[in-house]
Amino acid sequence: MKVRKFDSAAERRNFIDRDSSKVLLSFFTSGMIWLLIGSTLAIIASFKLHLPNFLGDISWLTFGRVRPLHLNTMVYGWASMTGAGVALWLLTRTLRIVIPIQKTILTGLVIWNIGLTIGSFQILGGYSRGMEWLEIPFSSAILMVVGLVPLLIASLTMLGNRASKHLYISVYYIIAAFVWIFALLLVAYVPDFDTTVQGGMNWWYAHNALGLWFTPICLAAAYYLIPKVTGRPIYSYSLSLLGFWTLALFYNWNGFHHLIGGPVPTWATTISIAASVMMIIPVVTVAVNHHLTVVGVFKRVINSPTLRFVVFGAMSYTFVSLQGSLQALRNVNEVIHFTHYVIAHAHIGMYAFVTMVLFGSMYYIMPRITGNEWQSKSRIKWHFWLSAVGIILYIVALQIGGIWQGFLMNDPDIPFLEIVEKMKPFLESRSVAAILLTTGHIIFAYSYFKIIKRDSSEKSKIVTQNFGD
């Protein structure tokens, strides 16, 4: 391998960033398009819940197809593609090495996009596998897996050829995520499970996709960006490691808590509940580590476009995980299972945590890989506040409504339709939230496509640099 000499760290960073720009921009642009598609589907699905006749005559736009497609485009399109891009960038930074096999990675991304597009039409056409998070049939899912392979190879190659001896904590998380996602997909698609075991596998997969794929990538981003922007060192390296290994140890037991009350052996759900409670350990450890890093420089967090999103995400991670530990307990689950509460819980994970961290990371990465600057402060502000207010409205409305719904459903004297009627205002609030969030996404997309287009006018160079972003 050719060794390059650099006069300064800034020069090396610049070289590596510009070298990765083609790959990263492809991932981010794909993710961005899927985000807009997914947002549209979200609005359609949300409106159907309080206006049941809305688009009800067209079979491929019925709720049972639109809502799974919303999930799949967001998860395998927006979050996975953007997440993979962020992960690759973090590896170039922490290992100080350029991205290898770029052409193969780009080909992989094309195949991945084709697979997801075919899968989307299969879901709309009614060929879903009927399992949440695994609706995409084998025939197109295999294409997505093929698209992921170059990423695993690239990340392991980068680890092997790294220029830095010290392994920053983000590297642990990212390499683990690339390995884990293959283990998850292997179990989800290869063996032919049926009946109860299939249900168990389904939730094992769905829960782990969040916990062992998106969570590690986003924690890695937070671990890198917080000290980078604030200039404060991560409070404790040992706590970072403790957080990583306890996550690795406890997370993959959690999935069965989705089957409490279902026809699975008692010991299986019990172990899962215990492991869900144990998740308090990695979560509190990471929270303490992040919090004690930013304590005292919180003003910088508020001012920095990157950290605003990332710290919002990191705080949501703590919140959603502690909530998860609590709601896995049988007595709590008895109330909230099968209510809108759980939907909101999932969105704190996938939106308030994962998506917000990805937004923040993109605000940091884009000026570096394009050489351009964000051109409008107010667009960043609008994006942040629409996203933050939107998701908070979503969570508050559905979780309060959901708890009430749970108590009503547990009372056999109350007719089901009466409960449906009572939930209407909460579902309408969700549609308002969906519109706010989508507006934010459109503003972000506009900023994004502006920054890709080369524009070297002096005026555009002052938006984020004052904050060290």
Q: Which of residues 233-262 bind other proteins (CB under 8 A)?
A: 233-240, 261-262
Q: Which of residues 28-57 bind other proteins (CB under 8 A)?
A: none
- DSSP symbol at 191: S
Provide the minimum distance between the beta carbon of 464 and other proteins in the complex, in angstroms, as a whole number.
8
- Interior CA angle at 393 toward 82 and 79, to 5°? 10
Identify whether the C-beta of residue 363 lies closer than 8 Å to the C-beta of residue 388: no
- DSSP symbol at 233: P
Provide the minimum distance between the beta carbon of 239 and other proteins in the complex, in angstroms, as a whole number.
5
Burial 119-156 (b: 16+ CB within 10 A, else e): bbebbbeebbbebbbbbbbeebbebbbebbebbebbbe
Return the number of the residue (46 or 272) whose C-beta is nearest other proteins. Answer: 272
Cα torsion for 97, 100, 106, 111, to the nearest 10°?
-120
Return the number of the residue (297 or 435) whose C-beta is nearest other proteins. Answer: 297
- Please pick, from the candidates 109, 158, 169, 362, the single residue that binds other proteins as defined by CB under 8 A: 169
Measuring CA to CA, which residue among 160, 11, 20, 164 is closest to residue 84?
A: 20
Q: Is 419 in the site for other proteins (CB under 8 A)?
A: no
Identify whether the C-beta of residue 39 lies closer than 8 Å to the C-beta of residue 199: no
Q: Is 58 in the site for other proteins (CB under 8 A)?
A: no
**How many amino acids of this chain bind other proteins (CB under 8 A)?**
60
Provide the minimum distance between the beta carbon of 142 and other proteins in the complex, in angstroms, as a whole number.
32
Q: What's the token pair of residue 235?
A: 């409070």
Q: Is 445 in the site for other proteins (CB under 8 A)?
A: no
Give the other-Cβ count within 10 Å of 1's Cβ.
7
Q: Which of residues 325-354 bind other proteins (CB under 8 A)?
A: 330
Q: Is 168 in the site for other proteins (CB under 8 A)?
A: yes
Q: Which of residues 178-217 bind other proteins (CB under 8 A)?
A: 196
Q: Is 379 in the site for other proteins (CB under 8 A)?
A: no
Q: Which of residues 86-105 bind other proteins (CB under 8 A)?
A: 93, 96
Q: Is 224 in the site for other proteins (CB under 8 A)?
A: yes
Tell the residue number behind the tokens 């009800």, with chain if given: 56
Q: How far is the CA of 464 from the CAs of 82, 445, 446, 453, 469, in angstroms? A: 21, 17, 17, 18, 6
Q: Is 8 in the site for other proteins (CB under 8 A)?
A: yes
Return the number of the residue (150 or 324) whose C-beta is nearest other proteins. Answer: 324
Q: How far is the CA of 168 from the CAs of 3, 98, 216, 371, 414, in angstroms? A: 22, 17, 13, 26, 56
Q: Which of residues 263-292 bind other proteins (CB under 8 A)?
A: 263-267, 270-271, 273-275, 277-278, 280-281, 284-285, 288-289, 292
Identify whether the C-beta of residue 370 lies closer than 8 Å to the C-beta of residue 15: no
Contact residues for other proteins, defined by CB under 8 A: 7-11, 13-14, 17, 93, 96, 163-166, 168-169, 196, 224, 227-229, 231-240, 261-267, 270-271, 273-275, 277-278, 280-281, 284-285, 288-289, 292, 330, 367-368, 371, 373, 461, 465, 468
